[in-house]
Amino acid sequence: MENLDASVLLFGCGKVGIRLGEVLIEAGHRVFAVRRDVEVLPRSFTGIELDYRRPFTAELPSVGSMVVTLTPGASERESPDLVNPLRRLAAALPARPRRVILVSSTRVFDGDPGLRTLTEDDIPSPASPRAQALLDSETEARRLFDAVVVRPAGIYGPGRDHLIRQVERGVPMDRKRRTNRIHETDLVRALRELLRAPKPPQTLHAVDNYPATRGEVADYIARRLQIPAPPALPTEPSGHLISGERLASLLGTLRYPDYRSGYDDIIAARGPMRW
């Protein structure tokens, strides 16, 4: 048995949560998963049907660790409430878990001019309601649970091939935008390591080692597909460059250290080009 408590609650369990839960179950842990539609969960999970946007009706278990992912619905994207669900969660738990991880986003920097590489020591500067809601949830999760905050950027992997499909269709794009990404496999590895680390960092940017402009990534995908690169929209440089040094220190070598290795595997698994 690894250095983890025997039970983990995944509060909000989407694609990443399911992959993480499967890894934890293989290691011998019991996984409880909270989401609105528990039918999609693997049979090895203990599903708890609950809509975090409404007063809680389901009974929550006492667990050693918890990973919280609050994903707003389409109607909430302008000004989602991510703080009150955390307060309801804290009130509903029989006891505070030993380790709590909140999955946030690098979007909390969307008001930063993007003129320098950002690290976990930089102060977020939200400029949109969505970014402010994420930052508010970070603050509340730290207050309620002493949570570790993980901020992924640009999650991609199997089934997350939106950019590939855009390149295939030749969709004009903002080629000057600075982008960061993390392969789903390495994000799951990071969450697992944070659950078991004796002294985890309080904030972690889940990004790989090679930020790049969207145009650079699109050009690489186009070369791999042997098709023309998509045209550029008339835009100015935007976006951010985010350091992945802390993640590399935590995990060592990433399974997908850059977009080339990640997209190579995705393209190979997709087979012939789809239109």
Q: What is the pLDDT of residues 106-162, one digit of tens each?
A: 999 999 988 889 999 999 999 999 999 999 999 999 999 999 999 999 999 999 999
Q: Is the pLDDT of residue 75 over 80?
A: no
Query: How are beta strands 177-179 and 212-213 bridged, if at all?
Result: antiparallel
Tell me which H or E stretch contains 172: none
Q: Is the pLDDT of residue 39 over 70?
A: yes
Cα gap 226→267, rounded to integer Å: 12
Enter the tokens of residue 232.
Answer: 């550029």
Cα gap 34→31, rounded to integer Å: 10
- 230-234 average pLDDT score: 96
Instruction: Using pLDDT thresholds of 50, 70 and 90, give the confidence band for residue 2.
Output: very low
Bin 140: left if φ > 0, else alpha if -120 < ψ < 50, else beta: alpha
- 5-13 average pLDDT score: 91
> Phi first, then psi: what are they for 160, rounded to 5°?
-115, 70
Give the list of residues 6+ apart from residue 264 with CB closer than 8 angstroms, or none: 224
Does residue 186 sit in helix, strand or coil? helix
Alpha helix locations (H) across the chain?
15-26, 83-92, 129-145, 162-169, 184-196, 214-225, 245-251, 259-270
pLDDT at residue 275 in the model: 47
Q: Measuring CA to CA, which residue among 14, 64, 16, 69 is closest to residue 38?
A: 14
Q: For residue 23, how many C-alpha atoms fall within 13 Å in the half-sphere facing its CB?
A: 21
